[in-house]
Every structure is written in structure tokens, then in C-alpha cells.
Structure 1
Amino acid sequence: MKRTVAIVIHPGFQLLDAAGPTAAFEIAGRFCPGSYELAVLAPGGGEIESSSGIGLSATPLRDERFDTVIISGGEIVRSLAAAEQIAAWLKRGRARRIASVCSGAYLLAEAGLLDGRRATTHWASTDDFARRYPRISVDADRIFVHDGDVWTSAGISAGIDLALALIEDDLGQDVARRTAQQLVVHQRRSGQSQFSSLVELGGRTGRFADLIEWMRDHLA
């Protein structure tokens, strides 16, 4: 069964928000050929510049149904018109499941898809997100949150965690594990806070780095 996955970007998108999940689905497709077909979409299509200045080629938002839609985060304010177009497009029900990476959750919220649901976003935005959208229950500590047919994830690299969870949902734990191994990442850190407590204890100067490393090696 081939599942079409649409990665939706916009001017100022965060490159890893799109590239991380794309790589995960592409690698999962190596283990289960024919499982995924990937598409990059954006309002108007064309070459879309990321926040880093590196662009991706995208096709216009189109009126068809996808298996999965993933909305990238980034500098959404760079093009409010594009953000409004994406939110309006989402309202028309474009997929079996909808997901966001980082500040892409704002676009899901604007489309009303998170009302009455649990969700997360980048830790630096959770307070603002909660103020703007009081009908959403914000879980600031989670790497990703799955509520019904909507998935949201924390900042940037968490898009890979999200993609691995979606792959496991589709193809099972073994394929997700092998994909994670190929990516050289943990398969599952969904129960982990967005912050590492050991890093937090190390302080901003890093003066406890050697002690923390010793503790990791001698946890027993």
C-alpha cells in the first residue's frame, strides 16, 4: 500500500523540519519498497527559500487527498499570506492524518484542527501558543503528542521523532527501529522532556561536563 506524504513548506521554513521527516520516510521506503510517495507543497509552488537561505522546489497546494500531511515550522511571519493559505487549505480536510513540526502547530491551530486537543510545539513558543489558543491543551514537555488523527511535535529535530512514530504506526516497530538505526538516532524518545535534565544540571558554563559524563558511565 503506497501512502502519499505531503511536506508543506512556506517562505522562511526551517530546513530540518522538512528534510528530517523526508529522510525518515525515504529510508523506511528502502525497507518496505512502495510504502511511501513524497511530495513537497507550498502556496504558489516554485523555489521556496528556507530560513537559512537554502531553498526547496515545491509544487502548489492542490485539491487532492493525501495519506499524511506534515506542516513545517520556521519563520511563519515572513509570509503571513502563505500561512493564511495553508490554514485555509487545511480546513478543507486534506489527509487521513495531519502533523506539524515545531511552530507548524500554529498553522494547525489557525485551521481549528487543534481545538479541544492536546498539542505541543517548540519549548520557546509554548507560553505564547497557550495564550493565543486557550482551547488547546499544551503539553510543553513532550517531544511529540498524538491526539486522534492529529500529531504535533516539538522543535526542529523532533520532526524526526515524529516521522519515526508515524512510520511505526504504518509499518510496525521493526521498520521504525531499522529506520532509526540508519538515521543514527533513537527510535523512541516520546516520553522524554524537551530538555535533558542532566544538561540542565550542568549549568550554562559546562563546568560539570566531566562529572556528568562520569555519572553516565557509572549509573549503577
Structure 2
Amino acid sequence: MSTAPSSPPTRFAVALFPGFQALDVFGPLDILNTLSTQVPLSLTILSTSLAPVSTATPAAGGPSTAQSVVPTRTYADANVDVDVEVLLVPGGAGTRDPANVAQVEDYVRRAYPKLRYLLTVCTGSALVARTGVLDGRRATSNKRAWEWATAQGPRVNWVPRARWVTDGNVWTSSGISAGIDMMYAFVADQFGEDVAQTLADDAEYVRNTDPDDDPFAAGEGKNGVAK
């Protein structure tokens, strides 16, 4: 049985924007949903307004199906800063438009000094890189969007072969499904390995527990094209 911190975080939030990647959000949050049956947790869904936020991008040419999530608070809510210990920033096509995520970036800059942990999935790290929070830190991102993502943070120490990377209180994961492995690893770090493995077993999920085991990194067969 692994040893977890005496006071692991219990107040989580996710930063939404139009065009977020569904699994970037729903994968990690499903783990937290299950964890909350054992540990009381709170979850805040953040957006620019309380209107439903769609996985579809505002621009034409996106997917023909999409889902929407109803936020619970806005980035402008000054009181939200003290109510969030862990912030999850997803990626998705919406990160490509700086105007689309400008309020998210402003919130990350404002909130980060008060956070206990910052977690990103996929190109969420590119979004956060534009804020300067990742400058001088090790981080990773989606290998399929590698050139674009890494260009968003020239002062970031990008790790090209990693399923996820931990640098201090910042956790960044590779593309989409990697966020699930990262969240299980985060739960193991904070609540104990036995808790994380039980949650994975209940979900019938086979974890990747090695952050350096990255089958989608450059050079790892046809799936490893970093572009």
C-alpha cells in the first residue's frame, strides 16, 4: 500500500471553452466521479458564461456530432479562485484560436499562484504555455500536434517522449487518452496507489503506469509521427 499525502486536494475544477476535446475532460472526470464515492470531492465547471459549452468548434468544418456541458461558475467569479485546489485544462481544436481561449488563459495566469496543482491534457499544455506558467518547466503534449503545440511555448522544456510529465505542482499529459493515465497517476500520488488501482479495476481499465512509456512518440511506428 502506497503512502498518500495527509491532506490530499478535494476541490477540483475544469476549464472549458468551445471546441474542447470530449475525452480530455470526461476521461479524467469519470475517475474523479468514481473517487468521490470514497472521498468527498467538489467539482467546479468553469467557462466564460453559464451557457452550455459545446465540444464543437465555432468554425465550420468540425465534427457533425457534439456534446455540451453546463458550467457551474464563470472565470469572472472572483470567489472561485479560493475554491479551487486542482485545475484541469483540456485540449481540443478550440485551443487553436487564441481569441476562443483568451479568458481561459487570463484565468490560468490569475489562478495558478493559488492552486495546489495544475493538470493539462493534450493541447491544454499549449494553451497554458501561452500564459508563461510553463516557462522553464518540463511538459509534454499531443504528439500529433507536436510542432504547433511546442511553438506556443518556446521557453518550455518540452519532453517529446512521455505519456505524462510531472514538474513540481504541474502535470501535463500527451494526447487525449493520456489524460486518463495521468489522472490515475495523480490519484495514486495523492490518495494512494491502492485507491488508484481499485478505481481502474472497477472501470476495467488497463493503466499505463510508466510516464516514459509513450507509444505515440516520434520513431514509434506509424502512430509516432510528431507533426
TM bin (shorter chain): 0.7 to 0.9
> Structure 1: which 5+ runs fail to align?
203-220
The answer for the alignment partner of 1:191 in structure 2 is 212
The answer for the alignment partner of 2:59 in structure 1 is none
Confirm or deny that 1:57 pairs with 2:70.
yes
Alignment of 1:167-206 (within 5 A): 167-187=187-207, 188-195=209-216, 200=221
Whether contact under 8 Å (1:143, 1:154) holds in the other structure is: yes
Confirm or deny that 1:9 pairs with 2:16.
yes
The answer for the alignment partner of 1:166 in structure 2 is 186
> Partner letter of residue 48 of structure 1?
V
More strand by share: 1
The answer for the alignment partner of 1:81 in structure 2 is 99
The answer for the alignment partner of 2:89 in structure 1 is 71
- Give 1:131 shift: 3.2
Confirm or deny that 1:91 pairs with 2:109.
yes
RMSD of aligned C-alpha atoms? 2.5
The answer for the alignment partner of 2:174 in structure 1 is 154
More helix by share: 1
TM-score, normalised via structure 1 length: 0.82
Structure 1 or 2, whichever has the larger Rg, is: 1
Q: Which has the higher contact order (CA 8 A, sep 6+)?
A: 2
- Give 1:29 shift: 2.1
The answer for the alignment partner of 1:125 in structure 2 is 145
Q: Distance in 1 between matches of 2:42 and 2:95?
A: 30
Moved more, 74-83 or 164-173: 74-83
Q: Secondary structure at the match of 1:46?
A: coil
Q: How many residues align?
A: 201
Q: Distance in 2 between matches of 1:45 and 1:81?
A: 18
The answer for the alignment partner of 1:47 in structure 2 is 52
- Give 1:42 shift: 1.3
- Give 1:118 shift: 0.6
- Give 1:77 shift: 4.8
TM-score, normalised via structure 2 length: 0.80
The answer for the alignment partner of 2:62 in structure 1 is none
Whether contact under 8 Å (2:160, 2:217) holds in the other structure is: no
> Structure 2: which 5+ runs fail to align?
1-6, 57-64
